Amino acid sequence: MRFRRRDLLRIGRDLRRASRGLRFRLTATYAALFVVLVVGAVWLARAQLSASLQTQATDSLDEDWTALKGSILRIERDPDSGAYEAYWYYDKDDPDETTVVLDIKKVLLITDSSGKAIQDHETQEPAESTIYQDLPQDRPAEIQARVRQWVSASKPGQAGKPFWMEKRDSSGELFLIRAAVIWDEHRHAPYYVALGTSLAKNEVILRRYSFMLFVGVLPGATLLGWLVGWLVAGRALTPVRDVAQAAQRITGSNLGLRIPSRNAGDELDYLILTFNRMIERLEASFRQMKQFSADVSHELRTPITAIRGQLEVALMTAGSTEQYREAMFNALQDIDRLSQIVRALLLLSQAESGQLALQRSRVDLGLVLEDLAEQFQIPAEGAGVRLAAHCQPGCFVDADRVQIERMITNLLSNALKFTPEGGEVRLSAQPLEGSVELVVEDTGRGIPAEHLPHIFDRFYRVPGSGTAPAPDQGLGLGLSFVAWIAKAHHGVIDVESTPGKGTRFTITLPAAGAAALPAEVSVSQ
Give the shortest CB-510-to-ligand ADP separation in angstroms: 24
- Contact (Cβ atoms closer than 8 angstroms) between residue 221 and residue 250: no
d(CA 423, CA 501) in angstroms, rounded, equals 10
- Measured from the CB atom, the residue of 115 and 476 that comes closer to ligand ADP is 476
Give the shortest CB-255-to-ligand ADP separation in angstroms: 28
Give the shortest CB-464-to-ligand ADP separation in angstroms: 7
Residue with the shortest CB distance to ligand ADP: 474
- Scored b (16 or more CB within 10 A) or e, 362-383 reads ebbbbebbbebbeebeeebeeb
- Measured from the CB atom, the residue of 364 and 442 that comes closer to ligand ADP is 442
Left, alpha or beta for 27 (phi > 0: left; psi -120 to 50: alpha)?
alpha
Decide: helix, strand or coil at residue 457: coil
- Measured from the CB atom, the residue of 104 and 447 that comes closer to ligand ADP is 447
Give the shortest CB-331-to-ligand ADP separation in angstroms: 22
Give the shortest CB-407-to-ligand ADP separation in angstroms: 11
- Measured from the CB atom, the residue of 259 and 455 that comes closer to ligand ADP is 455
CA angle 167, 172, 178 (to 5 degrees): 20
Q: What string of DSSP letters covers 156-174?
A: TT---PPEEEEEE-TT--E
HEC letters along 356-386: CCCCEEEEEHHHHHHHHHHHCHHHHHHHCCE
- Measured from the CB atom, the residue of 446 and 510 that comes closer to ligand ADP is 446
- Contact (Cβ atoms closer than 8 angstroms) between residue 444 and residue 423: yes
Give the shortest CB-444-to-ligand ADP separation in angstroms: 5
Give the shortest CB-445-to-ligand ADP separation in angstroms: 5
- Contact (Cβ atoms closer than 8 angstroms) between residue 369 and residue 428: yes
- Measured from the CB atom, the residue of 175 and 456 that comes closer to ligand ADP is 456
d(CA 469, CA 101) in angstroms, rounded, equals 128
- Measured from the CB atom, the residue of 225 and 444 that comes closer to ligand ADP is 444
In sequence order, which residues have a C-beta less than 8 Å from that of residue 53 and are 6 or more positions away? 199, 202, 205, 206
- Contact (Cβ atoms closer than 8 angstroms) between residue 38 and residue 216: no
Give, in order, the Cα–Cα distances in Å from 84 to each of 80, 115, 123, 227, 267: 11, 14, 14, 72, 87
Q: What string of DSSP letters covers 61-127?
A: HHHHHHHIIIIIEEEEE-TTT--EEEEE-S-TT-HHHHHHHHHHHHSEEEE-TTSPBPEETTTTEES
- Measured from the CB atom, the residue of 431 and 499 that comes closer to ligand ADP is 499
Catalog residues that contact ligand ADP under the rule CB under 6 A: 410, 414-415, 418, 442, 444-447, 455, 460-462, 474-480, 503
Give the shortest CB-347-to-ligand ADP separation in angstroms: 13
Give the shortest CB-380-to-ligand ADP separation in angstroms: 13
Left, alpha or beta for 459 (phi > 0: left; psi -120 to 50: alpha)?
left
**Amino acid residing at 504:** R
- Measured from the CB atom, the residue of 138 and 299 that comes closer to ligand ADP is 299
Nearest to 253 by CA among 293, 283, 214: 283
Give the shortest CB-477-to-ligand ADP separation in angstroms: 6
d(CA 233, CA 261) in angstroms, rounded, equals 20
- Measured from the CB atom, the residue of 86 and 416 that comes closer to ligand ADP is 416
Give the shortest CB-385-to-ligand ADP separation in angstroms: 12
- Measured from the CB atom, the residue of 243 and 348 that comes closer to ligand ADP is 348
